[in-house]
Amino acid sequence: MRQRPQDSTSALAALITGNHRCVARRGGGVVGPAAASDGSSGGRPFALVWQCESIDLSMGELFDQPQQDLYVVRVLRSEPLGRAGSAAPASAPEPMPSATVDIEAVGVREAVAAVEFGLGEFAVPIVVVLAEVGERFVRSEFAWKQSEARAFDAVRELLASSAKAAEAVCEGRLRVVGAIFDRAERRVHWLGEFPDQARYVGQPSRR
């Protein structure tokens, strides 16, 4: 039985290992047992997955994790916010009685509000911003570059628009990483942190 990851390192490791199991299972390989919660999470997600486009595959299946351990934000429209703070932010979603947290955000502004809710309600230590390449897209070098750009554009919008997220990253309580979902193989390719992250995060305050 698995305990809830408490920091970004263990959370990322759980997601990476889980996706390896997903890929191996799809290919008919020998895999270890699926992740199972020991109940210590109390229905609290340990990771937030921001989908740059709605992916018709369960994130629980993709990362081989109990669905209630993942907080999923699906962005239905991905136009940029423009200058951060130029308009009133969307209201955060209400706390959900269900253990499964899966939110459809109409645009980036609502997605940022949903992320802030996840940070406050569940104290997730990691946000994975996931863009897709695969069956619905031409799998070319250009397509991969486009997917990478979508992922990092979303990371930039999040850090530029959310003081809560930027502060959590600055203080080491949160890690935000980009990733690409290869639909053909169901494999997640990890991009790491946004290269220009320091510009939006700044330096931790001394107390």
Q: What backbone phi and psi angles, to 5 degrees, belong to 106?
A: -65, -35
Range 8-32+44-79+96-193 has CATH code 3.40.1050.10: yes
- Digit-by-digit pLDDT tens for the chain (207 residues) are 567 898 999 999 999 999 999 999 877 655 555 555 555 445 689 999 999 887 888 999 999 999 899 999 988 865 554 443 433 445 555 544 344 478 888 788 899 999 999 899 999 999 999 999 865 555 678 888 999 999 999 999 999 999 999 999 999 999 999 999 998 889 999 999 999 999 998 755 543
Residue pair 151/130 in contact (Cβ under 8 Å)? The answer is yes
* pLDDT in the model for residue 157: 93
* pLDDT in the model for residue 94: 53
* pLDDT in the model for residue 104: 83
Q: Where are the domains of the chain?
A: 8-32+44-79+96-193
